[in-house]
Chains A and B, each alone.
Chain A
Amino acid sequence: MNFSILTNNIDMFLEGFKVTLMASVIALIASLLLGAFIAVLRIAPNKLLNWLGTIYVEFIRNIPLLIIMLFVYLVFNFKGLTAGTIALTIYTTAFIAEAIRAGILSISKGQMEAARSSGLTYGQAMRLIILPQAIKVVIPPLGNQFINLVKNSSLVAVIAGGDLMYQADLISARTLVVMDTYILVAMFYLLLTIPLSLGVGYLEKRLAKSN
């Protein structure tokens, strides 16, 4: 393994790492909030809302992320990184919505009935009783989605987003050291995903204890 690739191009690797980290964190937070919203749409006692939620999920999760990315990039004429982060958010939201919906449905119907029969509104019951319980169930599948999100962010390279993958493409094209460059890039991705995995595992254990 040729480590001079790393030392000679450390600035580019770090820049790519920073960009990938930023795109992932922004898309993660945004898709978590939007995902919770879409999940509630799909479950709310209103046919129109259910229908809107279902259309979003089925449409978005059944087309390739790369196409969504190109679409946002070309149609709205955003910069690569901006378009990429938006596309990642749109795409990941669909999967997170499904994970959260499954979590909500796993909570016994009696919880909602007990809450409603004490006079709480649907919204209060959802917020105070159902979602806090659902979040525990949802953490492992959310962890999977977050890891996928970080890895999917490598597609941003295709629209010149300046991320890790993009930098690696530049370095390998310039130096013609292909294998080692991509091995190094894989290491940088692991630097992001392994702590994420461990963090999710830790959270899972801690929440399990509180029950």
Chain B
Amino acid sequence: MIVFDQVNKFYGNFQVLRNINLTINKGEVVVVIGPSGSGKSTLLRCINHLESITDGVLTVNGISVSDKKTNINKLRREIGMVFQHFHLYPHKTVLQNIILAPMKVLGQTEAQAKETALTYLEKVGISEKAYSYPSQLSGGQQQRVAIARGLAMSPEIMLFDEPTSALDPEMIGEVLDVMKALANEGMTMVVVTHEMGFAREVADRIVFMDQGQILEEATPAEFYENPKEVRAQLFLSRILNH
């Protein structure tokens, strides 16, 4: 479904992604971990073309993301994205946040879009906040709205860019629970996170990155019990034993 083939990316002379080869299949949950600055977020943001790649081929559903002829707006309908800092629209209510893209991009009627929105709000457990503004919500609630906003477009893929890193520790659980439920329903997910418990429990595959390279790709069991790369061993020992 998502295929990176020899993908490189540079910011000027600085190489952020090095020879990335990665295939993500339909229904798979892939968790990308690694130290700060390792290129995890960049990798994720290339998938929906928030960042462009320098060379190599990156396809989503067989369509090249970097090809100038690709209608990127159309491709993005199939890819939901959840950001570290939520990025809800502060001048719109929760409901308006969710129905905006289905109405403007998919051409749904307001009634249709509202119905879908309310279903997803219920699913993420905050239907009572439909008419509140984002500023009236806690971080965890805002992030759940952001997930509902992504789902309302009925995407085939959901991207999560450190979705819990900006949250109070108490709020992390509620967001991870929503993500777990989503994974269990068979959503294709690519998740950049530092939540090792989530990765271990939910991921089909762990991708470990450092300095722009994928150093290790393994199932959670293999990766946590017996990491092959020295850098991965060091990373795990640092974050698991603190």
Interface residues in A174-194 by Cβ distance below 8 A to B read: none
Asked if B87 and A111 make an inter-chain contact with CB atoms under 8 angstroms apart, the answer reads yes
Instruction: For A132, list chain B residues within 8 Å (CB).
Output: 91
Q: Inside 8 A of A118's CB, which chain B residues have their CB?
A: 76-77, 80-81, 100-101, 105, 149-150, 153
Tell me the A100-142 residues at the B interface (CB within 8 Å): 108, 110-111, 113-121, 124, 128-129, 132-133, 136
Q: A113-B83, A114-B83, A116-B50 are in contact. Are A121 and B91 (CB under 8 A)?
A: no
Out of B50, B85, B91, B135, name the residue touching A117 (CB < 8 Å). B50
Q: Which among A117, A118, A132, A210 has the greatest number of chain B C-beta atoms within 10 A?
A: A118
Q: Which of B76, B91, B133, B135 touches A116 (beta carbons < 8 Å)?
A: B76
CA distance A108 to B90 in the complex (A): 11
Q: Does A62 contact B (CB under 8 A)?
A: no
Contact residues in A for B79 (Cβ distance below 8 Å): 117
Q: Are B89 and A110 in contact (CB under 8 A)?
A: no
Scoring B residues 42 to 83 as 1 if CB is less than 8 Å from chain A, else 0, what string do you get? 000000101000000000000000000000011011011101
- B91 close to A120 (CB less than 8 A): no
Chain B residue nearest to A129 (CB atoms) is: B89
- Report A169 CB to chain B, min CB distance, Å: 47
- Does B104 belong to the interface (CB within 8 Å)? yes
CB of A75, distance to nearest CB on chain B (Å): 44
Check if B50 sits within 8 Å of A133, measured CB to CB. no
Residue of A with least CB distance to B78: A119
The 8 Å CB contact of B104, one of A113, A120, A210, is A120
The answer to whether A128 touches B104 (Cβ under 8 A) is yes
Q: How far, in whole Å, are A115 and B79 apart by their CA atoms in the complex?
A: 12
Chain B residue nearest to A135 (CB atoms) is B91
CB-CB < 8 A to B80: which residues of A? Answer: 117-118
* Contact partners of A133 in chain B: CB under 8 A: 89-91
Q: Which of B101-121 contact A (CB under 8 A)?
A: 101, 104-106
For A121, give its contact among B73, B81, B89, B106 (CB under 8 Å).
B73
CA A186 to CA B113, docked complex, whole Å: 56
Contacts of B149 in A (CB 8 A): 118
Supply 20 further A-B pairs (C-beta < 8 A) apart from A108-B87, A133-B90: A110-B83, A113-B83, A114-B83, A114-B87, A114-B89, A117-B48, A117-B76, A118-B80, A118-B101, A118-B153, A119-B76, A119-B77, A119-B106, A120-B100, A120-B101, A121-B73, A132-B91, A211-B90, A211-B91, A211-B133
